[in-house]
Amino acid sequence: MTRAHECADASSVIDLFCGLGTFALALPAKVHAVEGARDAILALAATRRVTVEHRDLFRRPLARDELARSDAVVLDPPRAGAREQIAQLVGSSVARIAYVSCNPATFARDAAVLVRGGYRLDWVQPVGQFRWSTHVELVGAFVINEIPQ
């Protein structure tokens, strides 16, 4: 990620839609990685560097009380975005969210929900990681302002 890992100084991080652990393994914090793809999470579990959970985050997103175990979240959903998980992040006590997206449209949709729910978009940066392609990834950092009354 950019800007020296937005969540690098957090003591505990939850990595949602973690895949094979691209971000989870790079973070110095205590990391709990969650992924719906069984093969990916089993491969990550074999590293024994992070705790892992096999879970379909579209059907059963982490609830606010589960999110409260961490001060930061890394979120890297598929193109559909993370509508269900974003709804749980709003109103949670998570102070920082690093959102990696492969779809600017779902990023914008989810970002709007986070902002309405009390987060501030601190920065966003496009990442053109595929040479000779129109595909662009986005990375955005959200920090909690206050929960709206």
Residues designated catalytic: 102
Separation CA 91–CA 146 (nearest Å): 9
Token look-up 């000779």 returns 132
Task: Determine phi and psi for 85, rounding to 5 degrees.
Answer: -75, -35
Where would I find the beta strands (DSSP E) of the chain?
Answer: 12-16, 30-35, 51-54, 72-75, 96-101, 119-127, 137-144
- 3-state class of 119 per DSSP? strand
Indicate the Cα dihedral angle 113, 79, 36, 13, nearest 10°: -50
